[in-house]
């Protein structure tokens, strides 16, 4: 079944937490981990991914931590997903590096094109939905 990974869930939770702080200071990975009862190492990793993709920024020091790089209304869910997932497609043949060699049914597949339309709709929803929508 189509399902977001735990990594994506944690990234969305971290982004939501930072958005709720509304740029009133930095959030630490420990703080987010404790608030949502999720493993600290995974929170730290997704926060690093968000920084790398310029969705969040980090500040070092005793009062440092993480904060969103832009307003929640400007960050789509697809931005978050792409920051932590290498591929987010509903079937393997739609992955960026996929070829006919990856699937023995590629040449005779009757569901590939209809599922590509479904994928477009899913992508559209995740693109149009922002962090502000999940606050």
Task: Lowest mean pLDDT of 9-13, 54-58, 71-75, 107-111, name the range.
Answer: 107-111
Is the pLDDT reported for residue 84 higher than 70? yes
Is the pLDDT reported for residue 92 higher than 80? no
Q: Calculate the dihedral angle through the C-alpha atoms of 44, 61, 79, 88, rounding to the nearest 10 degrees.
A: -20
pTM of the model: 0.86
- Kindly give the residue spans of alpha helices, DSSP state H, lying in the chain: 6-21, 29-36, 40-52, 77-84, 112-128
Question: Can you list the domains of the chain with their CATH numbers?
Answer: 6-134 (1.10.10.10)
Average pLDDT over residues 15-27: 89
Closest by CA to 72, choosing from 135, 4, 127, is 135
Average pLDDT over residues 114-133: 94
């Amino acid at each position: 079944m189509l399902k977001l990974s735990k990594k994506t869930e944690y990234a969305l939770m971290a982004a939501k937490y930072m958005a709720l702080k509304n740029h009133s200071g930095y959030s630490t990975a420990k703080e987010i981990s404790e608030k949502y009862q999720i493993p600290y190492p995974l929170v730290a990793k997704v926060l690093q991914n968000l920084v790398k993709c310029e969705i969040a920024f980090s500040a070092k020091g005793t009062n440092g931590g993480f904060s969103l790089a832009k307003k929640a209304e400007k960050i789509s869910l697809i931005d978050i997903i792409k920051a932590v997932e290498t591929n987010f497609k509903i079937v393997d043949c739609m992955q960026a590096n996929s070829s006919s060699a990856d699937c023995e049914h590629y040449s005779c597949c009757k569901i590939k094109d209809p599922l590509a339309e479904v994928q477009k709709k899913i992508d559209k929803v995740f693109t149009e939905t922002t962090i502000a929508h999940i606050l």
